[in-house]
A and B are shown apart, each in its own frame.
Chain A
């Protein structure tokens, strides 16, 4: 008699949740559809001949060479700096920590502008390697440092007591625990390098991304661009599966958090001068030169006329896109998180994974896709801000998702149930209990996405309405024409307003530390 099973009644709000999600999933399918449609138009034979040719092999060599060297070098730098700062008695650790994470806030196309304006010898592989490595290593440094901080020191003591020295302990005990953080950061770098357009275009180093852009904008060869995109997507897929593989392995690595005891910092001994020299050099290269050059051009440029009205217009545009993009992104991310946490099983997994896959697509691919569909099917939308906002949503939903998710998990279902049993309906519970609890996550997501949108270059270049310029676009255009002094005020202003969300984000991490483990 108890085989009769009533379906769990779903709250009516779920339709409200489902609508934005379905919309998002539909748009998320477009990049794949774009490639298929293009391939079909070109024809299978032609498509193959467009993919398997010398130019593609050369691009592949270029792309992989840069990707592996940048990722490798960033891993070495990031782990070394993290270890020195977290585990040794290095002089001035706090100062170094701030200094060497600054590059994180300076977009790669701005630092490449600084280097190129220094000397044309930085064009080509060496410059690209240098600029991207100096831009990327914080992506390893930050998670690895956090992981070192949270690591249980008694494991190391056990290792020492079992007769292993410092070096062996690092490789056998510390390093395996760092792997999830290290590989997570490395994957991000690999994907970013794959997708990097602005910096590489300025440094005149060809990868798939720059080649696709050239094919599209200069040769107006949509078919060739689409086929190159296929190869690029294939590379993305390889990197993502590598990450999934390392994650599956990583699970047993991070067993039990334990109570982290304060660590006794290790003495660097005779290596102290080398370490200090290394940090000084890194600071000069990663911070000093990019910002120093900027100031230099700013001072030189100010003798010329200062384009105040244009600066203000562009600032307004940048802020409008930044905030608008962030708002739209959150409107999609919030239902995604709610449904993926409350629902279980495949649906939840799908909702969680799809955005991350989209996120690993280069902005260029998303730009091309949206141009293609807008021109073909909804010409009304072509070159409107709506399409650009859609691109930002696709690009940055996962960033908003992970911020919102982190705080949503602090609002356990039980708390909502208690609120229900105290006589509040589902909507009232959402507004009085759930929303206040996830406000910090929403704020962090807003800040992060705003920052990203304001410094986004590739999709913006392709999709912006004619005549509309953001600060990032002005920097790129002036630099591409070697008008270094003219680019400076835009770059400086962009860095200045980007520091606002960066400040908000660091404030948040400080305040959450103070509130303890709530």
Chain B
């Protein structure tokens, strides 16, 4: 049974389409990240699932129970969905323990609060007030509060956006751990690729109110559904090319490609920069170094292809300091299959 099943979900607002035929399925126990630029409708989708916003048409089913359809609109309090908004939104008048106990019945209260505090690593904080906690601690308690009543689904709305970069990495790991321990099914909305890739079991890419690709993180990265997704989730070298049998011809050479072939067809070629290796100018495609930027742990090398009618300026990342300098000629080699789009 699916923890969440959404079909044909649409919502328009002031004549503008915010959700456009969204369909989504999420198995129990998985963490899905909805990744998209701001204003793409991802928060609206999350709030529609939670029951804070009313879609125009479509259906939403949570753990086999219909919570939204033409005939039925279950209010938020009946959906058994835990919600963690940006900046936690703890009840400022209640202690940490009272916050976590808010959705619990009287009998199970004390036991469950203890469990939850242990789960998020905040034992001993029962009596604190929210304003005595740091931002990261508040988010932990907000998660504990959402998990406490055993919801069918946890919704996280950009849970790390208000935190310092340094805090984020640790909190991400801890929250993923807590979600896994609780066996929770969760959806997280984010505009941060790194966050989505490092945490999620599945990633749904959203653009202009549509889910354009829903897949495993690896699949999203290596075989993005279109060029926009490819460049949104990571750096990419985009070239024009032509299919010739099993190979595609492009300025970086004749390369193997994934997917079905259409011979003699003009296509767009997507290559991830880490597929490209830099060698001596004796072999491979000749390119000139136009700029090098040193970041300490790695460097970025900007190149321009020689002898190519296409203007192509890939930027390649290498570990450590740059092995070449501005003006050098190098030879480029592409490893692995590339992705083509018709």
Contacts and interface: CB of A to CB of B under 8 A. Distances in A.
A4 interface: yes
Interface in A2-17: 2-6, 8-9
A8 B51 CA distance: 11
B76 A417 contact: yes
Interface in B65-92: 73, 75-83, 85-86, 89, 91-92
B149 A422 contact: yes
A415 interface: yes
B230 to A, nearest CB: 28
Contact of B79 (A421, A516, A518): A421
Contact of A419 (B17, B19, B102): B102
A418 interface: yes
Interface string B144-170: 011001010001000000000000000
Nearest to A440: B93
A8 B130 CA distance: 33
B77 A423 contact: yes
**Consensus secondary structure, chain A interface:** loop
Contacts of B149: 422-423
A356 B262 CA distance: 72
A516 B130 CA distance: 12
Contacts of B177: none
Nearest to A413: B52
B77 A5 contact: no
Interface string A67-92: 00000000000000000000000000
Given A417-B76, A423-B149, A518-B131, A4 B57 contact: yes
Contacts, number: 88
A8 B56 CA distance: 10
A53 interface: no
A414 interface: yes
A421 B82 contact: yes
Interface in A429-470: 432-433, 436-437
Contact of A417 (B57, B85, B145): B85
B103 interface: yes
A261 interface: no
A410 B19 CA distance: 30
Contact of A415 (B10, B91, B131): B91
A420 interface: yes
Contacts of A418: 83, 85, 89, 91, 142, 145-146
A422 B103 contact: yes
Interface string B47-64: 000111010110000000
B51 A420 contact: yes
Interface residues of A, number: 29
Nearest to B82: A421
Nearest to B53: A8
A432 B77 CA distance: 14
Contacts of A412: 89
Given A417-B52, A421-B76, A433 B91 contact: yes
The 8 closest A-B pairs by CB, nearest first: A422-B103, A2-B10, A420-B76, A421-B83, A518-B131, A414-B89, A436-B93, A414-B85
Interface of B: 10-12, 17, 19-20, 50-52, 54, 56-57, 73, 75-83, 85-86, 89, 91-93, 102-103, 130-131, 142, 145-146, 149, 151, 155
Interface of A: 1-6, 8-9, 410, 412, 414-415, 417-425, 432-433, 436-437, 515-518
28 contacts: A2-B19, A2-B20, A2-B56, A2-B57, A3-B12, A4-B56, A4-B57, A5-B12, A8-B54, A410-B92, A414-B85, A417-B83, A418-B91, A418-B142, A420-B52, A420-B77, A421-B50, A421-B81, A421-B155, A423-B103, A424-B77, A424-B103, A433-B91, A433-B93, A437-B92, A437-B93, A515-B131, A518-B131
Given A5-B12, A433-B93, 10 more contacts: A412-B89, A418-B146, A420-B51, A421-B79, A421-B155, A423-B77, A423-B103, A433-B91, A437-B91, A516-B131
